[in-house]
Chain A
Amino acid sequence: MSSDEIGAESTATRRTVLRAGVAAAAAAPIAAGQDTAAADTEPAGTQTGPARVPLKVNGRLHEPELEPRVTLLDALRERIGLTGTKKGCDRGECGACTVLVDGRRIKSCLTLAVMQQGREITTVEGLAHGERLHPVQAAFIGNDALQCGFCTPGQVMSAIGCIEEGHAGSDAEIKEWMSGNLCRCSCYPNIVAAVRQAARELR
């Protein structure tokens, strides 16, 4: 993927995610009103049953039994037991499922687990070193950038991506590049403050 494409994917807001969704889960027909973007069709192709799929998550190799239609999100949550990554919509609209794949933020509900073999997947469980929190995590607590906490894992992963990409230069920029992550508790100004602070610390 070129850096342009990376940029395009990262700027995806809820208004443009469907395009990204089509690219990522090509098998799924997407229409307003359909429950999820994930493939609800019968497994097709040469291999239909489950197989062991090696996935490297937070530096550890897991080999869950998966059908090809299983999303990365469901593989993490239901097969590997890493439930920190959340499912808010299952169709690329909320960002609660954001993880890093090879350092880039992606929505794990919009990609199939089998497509991520051999990549470095980082989830919210993989950030802290023992008791020592990642600066973004600490900044979220300090700035009260969370209330119910359900969107928080996705916000934290997205914030790391946002800072890494160099999109945390100003509040306006942070707002723009964090707009793919919805927060219904509406902590947005505090999220901006947390990203601003963490960006400064990580510089």
Chain B
Amino acid sequence: MSASVVGRAVSRVEGVAKVTGAARYAADTEVTGVTHAVLVKSTIARGRVTGIDTAKATAAPGVLGVFTHQNMPRLTVPGPQTMFLKGFLPVQDGEIRYSGQPVAIVVAGTLEQARYAATLVKPAYDAETPQVSLAANMDLAYLPEPHPMSGPPVYTRGDVAAGLESADVKVAAEYSTPLQHHNAMEPTAMVAAWDGDRLTVHASTQGVGDLQRSLMAAFGLPGESVRVVCPYLGGGFGGKALSWPEPILVAAVARQVRRPVKLVLTRADSYTASGHRAETRHSLQVGATRDGRLTAIDHTLTQQVSRTDELMFNNPGQTRVIYACPNVRTTQRAVRLDLPIANFTRSPEASGGHALESALDELAYALNMDPVELRLRNWSATNQETGHPHGSNHLRECYRRGAQRFGWARRDPRPGSMRDRDGLIGWGMATAAHASGGVPGAGADLVIKEDGTARIRSATQDVGTGTYTVMTQIGADVLGLPLRGVEFALGDSAFPRSVVAAASTTVPSVGEAVVRAATQGRDRLIALAVADSKSPLHGLDPKRVAARDGHLFDTERPSRRIAHREVMRRHGKPIEVVVSPAAFTPRRFSVGAYFAEVHVDPGIGRIRLRRVVGVFDPGRVINPKTARSQVIGGAIWCVGIALTEHTLVDPYLGRVLTPNLSGYLLPVNADVPDIEVDFIDRPDPSSPALGARGFGEVPSTGLTAAIGNAVYHATGVRVRDLPITPEKVIKS
């Protein structure tokens, strides 16, 4: 008998659709009579539209409508419970809150016609001087109102002042991370079509349910009248996690022109449409005893918010949770600037973790202690914020295994001590960690068909993380069916409600729902088999019956068995199960350890990442293949965050200067070194999802600090302001 499909390195079940071009993303939706929309964006960052000349655009060939705040239908601004967090809808009034805010929408028969007509729309502005620099406006920092999505504005345990006072060794440092953009390869796209009062929107979103609810709110429609569909998503990374105005605006203009309307954001649009990782500044004070035990951490994080929201998307969770330290304070301050709302960005805890893990490296040097040893000494079996034990936490083994694979023992800690023929070599390490779960659960439904195969559905999303595949594996495992006997469907708001696919929550929420639905379905199947007088399992205690390889069998005499297909054929009608969302999923932390080697050319300051080792504890690994890809992806995100990515904003005009992929430097294939990945792979006994925890965000934390720490080890230069560019290395 074959082993379980859970834990196997299964190839993506939707792989063929993706390599043949058959997978249809939002912009690929075929809708007859579709028309095309193009946005006209504000060129000022603050002020008012005093008038918009639309005459020429309206008269241009093919144009079906030009919509400004003067002729747009009035729409209700959806509330935050729909994950619409922006606080206002553009093209509803003349006020400008940031450069790039949509001020008009042009709809035409073809994309070329719409694009040309959009260039003819001429807004006039009354412009004010914007404030867009965090550095220049730090004196405006304030403590925003608490919000469930922001984490606590101020968190304290113990007595931080006394803890610092009692420390033998102290480190105080400031770190900063720049504005960055998600830049999913798929630009946000949507096609809105009305059929009477019923609206269907094909949209690239991480949350079909949230987007549906935001549309319901905007148009005052009941749930059954609005459907949001997204079977394939071309990456999200948080940028498609919230509900955004564009689908609402496009649906509104589609109603006006009485035709389906498609809007595909341009790459440039995406730099102001879907949020960003806010620029952050961190002030850290860390104290420890001479033998390396932390006595206090004081972490103040200041981040940019917009004029219309005060959400803080960069909650410094790791500082509160992972290390044993009696006296901790985290403070989150905000500075309002004339920039768009920020957003969660893979991963939200990356900036806070970067600052903490960099400071710990500085502390290790101050203590003259190995940085791995420092972390081992402060390992904690409990979540230090909640005081509850972790479900499981094999972080110490991650350090040990990672150090061994990397060859860490051969490291000479003195900066500048390791070199090769053409430059300096640096080795650095850091902890990776991120919250997982802690959100409401998901629902699912299941049908076991008369042919013995099953279909499971949930209104979740596959952002590229592997949801299609791992949910199919989980369903097949519990039902005792081969992989091809289970189909998992997602990306439709008509399916049972789920949470947004983000923040390492999909496995804990949707995975739990799939386990529950499949367990109920299997039990119903077993009940049928033991009740049927013609079944070989007739009369057995159902507890003695298990399911595997498409059969139900007697666990005490496995040759006594009957195929699912046979049970269902005799039953003559499908088994249907619906499970509603669990109230919550347990809040956990997933962890890992990164080790990195950099090579620095001392002449020109060029930094090359040479190799990376990452060892992680995600609980049980459902699919080593997709999990490994998550790690590689997260690690490469860290390479971009650490070394190249930085959105430049003109300090006077407030405009993004790099709204493209040639000015904003994403890592490319040639930038990427060997990345060695390993998992502890031990089930978390507290997990409701077959021992697995949420994990996706973890690998995109920590490596930024490991790289910075390695650059310090190579050069003796501590670059505390990301990205670590050659000029910063040389200048110091």
Which residues of A pack against B, CB within 8 Å?
13-15, 17-18, 32-36, 38, 40-42, 67, 69-70, 74, 77-78, 81-91, 93-94, 96, 123-125, 127-128, 133, 137-138, 140-142, 144, 146-153, 156, 174-176, 178-192
Contacts and interface: CB of A to CB of B under 8 A. Distances in A.
The 9 A-B residue pairs with the shortest CB-CB distance in the complex, in nearest-first order = A84-B21, A150-B234, A148-B464, A149-B18, A147-B464, A186-B636, A83-B28, A141-B15, A93-B661
A36 B655 CA distance: 17
B266 interface: yes
B507 to A, nearest CB: 16
B672 A14 contact: no
Contacts of B667: 186, 188
Contacts of A190: 629, 632
B488 interface: no
A192 B669 CA distance: 8
Given A148-B464, A187-B633, A40 B234 contact: no
A182 B21 contact: no
Contact of B268 (A34, A70, A142): A34
Of A35, A42, A190, most B-chain CB atoms within 10 Å: A35
Contact of B19 (A32, A42, A69, A133): A133
Contact of B669 (A35, A38, A133, A179): A179
B267 A89 contact: yes
Contact of B20 (A133, A174, A179, A186): A133
B674 A156 contact: no
B463 A148 contact: yes
B63 to A, nearest CB: 13
B666 interface: yes
A110 to B, nearest CB: 13
Nearest to A79: B110
Contacts of A89: 187, 267, 660-661
A141 B11 contact: yes
A15 B661 CA distance: 9
A32 B660 contact: yes
14 contacts: A15-B662, A42-B116, A82-B21, A87-B264, A89-B187, A127-B20, A137-B19, A137-B20, A144-B626, A148-B233, A149-B17, A179-B670, A182-B668, A184-B183
Contacts of B606: none
Nearest to B23: A149
Contacts of B22: 84, 125
Contact of A83 (B21, B183, B266, B675): B21
Given A14-B668, A189-B674, A74 B111 contact: yes
Contact of B465 (A40, A90, A123, A147): A147
A18 B21 contact: no
A140 B11 CA distance: 10
Contacts of A87: 27, 187, 264
B266 A35 contact: yes
Contact of A88 (B111, B182, B187): B187
Contacts of A32: 657-658, 660, 662-663
B12 A144 contact: yes
B238 to A, nearest CB: 12
Nearest to B268: A35
B11 A142 contact: yes
Interface string B712-725: 00000000000000
Contacts of A174: 669
Given A33-B659, A124-B19, A185 B235 contact: yes
Given A40-B115, A147-B235, 5 more contacts: A88-B187, A149-B18, A175-B670, A185-B464, A186-B633
A198 to B, nearest CB: 11
Nearest to A186: B636
B185 A125 contact: no
B428 interface: no
Contacts, number: 216
B662 A156 contact: no
Interface in B666-701: 666-672, 674-675
Interface in B435-475: 462-466
A82 B20 CA distance: 11
B202 to A, nearest CB: 12
Nearest to A154: B185
A154 to B, nearest CB: 9
Contacts of B666: 14, 182, 184
A150 B662 CA distance: 19
B674 A125 contact: no
Interface SS, A side: loop
Contacts of B634: 186
A144 B116 CA distance: 41
A14 to B, nearest CB: 5
Interface in B269-327: 269
Contacts of A86: 25, 185-186, 234
A185 to B, nearest CB: 5
B19 A189 contact: no
A178 B668 CA distance: 8
B266 A148 contact: no
A14 B662 contact: yes
Q: Which of A69, A96, A151, A186 has the most CB of B within 10 A?
A: A186
Contacts of A151: 185, 234
A146 B18 CA distance: 8
A180 B179 CA distance: 24
A14 B661 contact: yes
Interface string B648-661: 00000001111111
A98 B23 CA distance: 17
B344 interface: no
B224 interface: no
Given A86-B234, A148-B185, A175-B672, A188 B663 contact: no
B112 A67 contact: yes
Contacts of B48: none
A83 B674 contact: no
A184 B234 CA distance: 9
B208 to A, nearest CB: 16
Interface in B155-196: 182-187
A143 to B, nearest CB: 9
Contact of B112 (A69, A88, A150, A182): A69
Contact of A148 (B186, B665, B670): B186
Contacts of A34: 268
Nearest to A195: B669
B661 A149 contact: no
Nearest to B22: A84
B14 A149 contact: yes
A20 to B, nearest CB: 11
B583 to A, nearest CB: 31
A189 B7 CA distance: 22
A175 B462 CA distance: 27
B126 to A, nearest CB: 23
B405 interface: no
Nearest to B626: A144
Counting chain B CB atoms within 10 Å of each CB, which of A94, A125, A142, A156 scores highest? A94
A94 B464 contact: no
Contacts of B3: none
B632 A124 contact: no
A146 B27 contact: no
Contacts of B665: 14
A57 to B, nearest CB: 12
A197 to B, nearest CB: 13
Given A81-B30, A88-B267, A146-B12, A181 B235 contact: no
